[in-house]
Amino acid sequence: MAPISEILSIGIRYLLYVFLIRCVLVYGYRIFLHPLHNIPGPFVARFSDWYGAHHAFLRRGHEVTYQNHRKYGSVYRHGPNKLVFNTVQALHDIYQNDRLSKSRAYLATKPHPTISNLFNVLDKRLHRTKRRVIGQGINDKAMREFEPLMLSHIDTFVRSLVKSASSTNLDATEPKVVNMTPAIKSLTLDTITHLAFGSPLSLQTQPQRHPYFLRGLAIANYRTNMYIQFPVIKHFDYIERILYPFMWTSQKTFYRTLREMIGQRAMQGKVEGKKDLYEFVRDVKDPETGEGLGMADVWSEAAFLVPAGGDTTATALAATLHYLSHSPSAYTRLAREIRTTFTSASDIRLGPKLASCSYLRAVIDESMRLTPPTPTTLWREEIPSRIKGEKKEPLVVDGIVVPPGTEIGVSIYAIHHNAEYFPEPFAFRPERWLPGETFSDAKGLKKDEAERQRKLTLEAFTPFSLGPRGCAGKAMAYSETSLVLARLLWCLDFERPGANKNRDAERESMGKVPEFRVKDQFSALTEGPELVFRKRGEAWREMFEDEDRAE
């Protein structure tokens, strides 16, 4: 009888042969016979999802996708069963299509198989119910009711910038350089936690209480993105615990803080006159069972709503400040609009006056176009028919027949830089959003050509995505960004430390404002901008009136 070691070695060799044959068959099929084999794309992506995982790991999926479109055209193969498109037609065909739902990869972000939140629920009926109920807490009406509390956080933010500023002249005293990413995130997270749980996290006023919250949030986003891009990795999260223990603990701290906030809110029960998001979430009932949500579900909703509402708005604001600090003409025009529309800081409220600030809206939109807060590709998939053997029309996206089981999407970053829809795609041109105005590349177009161009521009602009799974917090995002920028520019002027206005003006006129680059981890990870502030005349004093009175 052969010794055990010989049997083992034969066994291993045999398994290796089987593995190699399987690889040859599977990869050979994916490269040469797969229904998508004719669609161009990077070679590795044709046979392995490691391609997407690798770029998600390095947080550069958005820029790689943009480059790939330049190389391969308006559609390319991003994985064996993944297609990315880059046209307005595809945006419509994918995100406004009843036959499609979020891809099953979103399921990997569920904390438990039976627990879902508004972000990762795939069942359409449950999604509609959750969206209807939770949406009431973040729609226009809710924002008008929440406005005084939102303004109190914005004023805390502006006051801290005033305190960092020199008196009148930037050269006279040394103003403090402010890193805007943590400052803005503290503001937006205080705001969303106040809206969600009826009291804020107080990151602005007591940052020492939650030193790891921002880091934990960033890591939670990173993991969410890795799971969506490469769901298999979820099964190996213990490797992460061993290799990156600090990452793991920061993220746990973030979740623990949320749990504590929910616990404190739950202890208060129903509070008369208070309708925070917690109340709305507790009202959600499963349409099939009629049962309400348990604490684990409430936690899961919070774990999504806090980053959804806090992180994205922070990116929009940081990007806008970056572009303004590089664009003297846009800065001057916006400051003039704010300072001539309102009569005091407290006059800056939601309503017709703020809505009339069209340049403000153009600046925010142009900043979100260049640096979308969610720069990624939002994957969708055809829902398999419940009826066995049912024959469906083939799914066609932008003229391409998409086989069942294919994940498809449009990269928000890539389409926002598609020159067909946005002439001078890397230039900061708020005028492109203003009807009747034009800029260098659009000059000389005939009226009907200009109108066609404008229509395409509007259709291709998709920072909030679109369709039934588009952003539910758009009203909150525009309310918050507009109020912050308007109150800030009422009280202060700002610039980059050591900015050279002449050089900036020259670069701006040539369309060479540097991009506010971010890392793609589903939502964007930002750094900076670093800015210095200068008090504006006596306008800022109003912010301190309550404090002065209290003294």
The DSSP secondary-structure symbol of 112 reads: B
Site string for ligand HEM, 465-494 (x = CB under 6 A): x---x-xxx--xx-----------------
The answer to whether 316 contacts ligand HEM (rule: CB under 6 A) is yes
Q: What is the largest CA-CA distance in the chain?
A: 98
The answer to whether 119 contacts ligand HEM (rule: CB under 6 A) is yes
- Cα-flanking dihedrals φ and ψ of residue 395, to 5°? -80, 125
Q: Min. distance of Cβ 473 from ligand HEM in angstroms?
A: 2
Q: Min. distance of Cβ 106 from ligand HEM in angstroms?
A: 7
Which lies closer to ligand HEM via its Cβ, residue 47 or residue 280? Answer: 280
Q: Where are the beta strands (DSSP E) in 81-135?
A: 82-85, 100-102
Q: Min. distance of Cβ 315 from ligand HEM in angstroms?
A: 7
The answer to whether 360 contacts ligand HEM (rule: CB under 6 A) is no
DSSP sequence for 429-476: -GGGGSTT---GGGTT--HHHHHHHHHHHHHH--TT--STTS-S-HHH
Which lies closer to ligand HEM via its Cβ, residue 39 or residue 122? Answer: 122
Q: Min. distance of Cβ 305 from ligand HEM in angstroms?
A: 5
Q: Min. distance of Cβ 39 from ligand HEM in angstroms?
A: 23
Q: How far apart are alpha carbons 366 and 515 in whole angstroms?
A: 12
The DSSP secondary-structure symbol of 399 reads: T
Q: Min. distance of Cβ 132 from ligand HEM in angstroms?
A: 10
Which lies closer to ligand HEM via its Cβ, residue 81 or residue 465? Answer: 465
Size of residue set near ligand HEM by CB under 6 A: 22
Q: Min. distance of Cβ 376 from ligand HEM in angstroms?
A: 8
Is 116 exposed, middle or buried (CB count within 10 Å of its CB: 0-12, 13-18, 19+)? buried
The residue from 61, 430, 463, 529 that contacts ligand HEM (CB under 6 A) is: 463
Neighbouring-strand partners of residue 396? 401
The answer to whether 312 contacts ligand HEM (rule: CB under 6 A) is yes
The residue from 175, 373, 423, 529 that contacts ligand HEM (CB under 6 A) is: 373
Q: Give me 542's structure tokens.
A: 């109003």
Which lies closer to ligand HEM via its Cβ, residue 316 or residue 334? Answer: 316
Q: How far apart are alpha carbons 418 and 424 in whole angstroms?
A: 9
Neighbouring-strand partners of residue 377? 411
The DSSP secondary-structure symbol of 92 reads: H
Strands 82-85 and 407-410: parallel
Q: How far apart are alpha carbons 120 and 221 in whole angstroms?
A: 14
Q: Min. distance of Cβ 346 from ligand HEM in angstroms?
A: 24
Q: How far apart are alpha carbons 473 and 453 in whole angstroms?
A: 28
Of the candidate spans 14-22, 303-311, 340-348, 421-429, the one that interacts with ligand HEM by CB under 6 A turns out to be 303-311
Q: Give me 478's structure tokens.
A: 């525009």
Which lies closer to ligand HEM via its Cβ, residue 74 or residue 376? Answer: 376
Q: Binders of ligand HEM among 53-82, rule CB under 6 A?
A: none
Residue 160 amino acid letter: S
Neighbouring-strand partners of residue 101? 381
Which lies closer to ligand HEM via its Cβ, residue 216 or residue 473? Answer: 473
Number of residues assigned to the chain: 551
The answer to whether 131 contacts ligand HEM (rule: CB under 6 A) is yes
Q: How far apart are alpha carbons 458 and 535 in whole angstroms?
A: 37
Which lies closer to ligand HEM via its Cβ, residue 36 or residue 472? Answer: 472
**3-state DSSP call for residue 115?**
strand
Nearest CA-CA partner of 332 in 457, 222, 480, 494: 494
The answer to whether 308 contacts ligand HEM (rule: CB under 6 A) is yes
471 is in an annotated binding site: yes
Host H or E run for residue 520? strand 519-521
The residue from 100, 105, 133, 138 that contacts ligand HEM (CB under 6 A) is: 138
**3-state DSSP call for residue 478?**
helix
Q: How far apart are alpha carbons 187 and 368 in whole angstroms?
A: 19
Of the candidate spans 54-62, 68-76, 351-359, 372-380, the one that interacts with ligand HEM by CB under 6 A turns out to be 372-380
Q: How far apart are alpha carbons 484 and 464 in whole angstroms?
A: 19
The residue from 327, 374, 377, 406 that contacts ligand HEM (CB under 6 A) is: 374
The answer to whether 118 contacts ligand HEM (rule: CB under 6 A) is yes
Q: Min. distance of Cβ 153 from ligand HEM in angstroms?
A: 13
Which lies closer to ligand HEM via its Cβ, residue 56 or residue 316? Answer: 316
Which lies closer to ligand HEM via its Cβ, residue 162 or residue 477? Answer: 477
The residue from 247, 305, 338, 518 that contacts ligand HEM (CB under 6 A) is: 305
Q: How far apart are alpha carbons 153 and 319 in whole angstroms?
A: 20
Of the candidate spans 79-87, 311-319, 437-445, 541-549, the one that interacts with ligand HEM by CB under 6 A turns out to be 311-319
Q: Binders of ligand HEM among 230-289, rule CB under 6 A?
A: none
Q: How far apart are alpha carbons 318 and 312 in whole angstroms?
A: 10
Site string for ligand HEM, 517-546 (x = CB under 6 A): ------------------------------
The DSSP secondary-structure symbol of 515 reads: P
Binding-site residues for heme, in ranges, read 471
Q: What does the binding site for ligand HEM look like in residue numbers (CB under 6 A)?
A: 118-119, 131, 138, 305, 308-309, 312-313, 316, 373-374, 378, 463-465, 469, 471-473, 476-477
Binding-site residues, in ranges, read 471
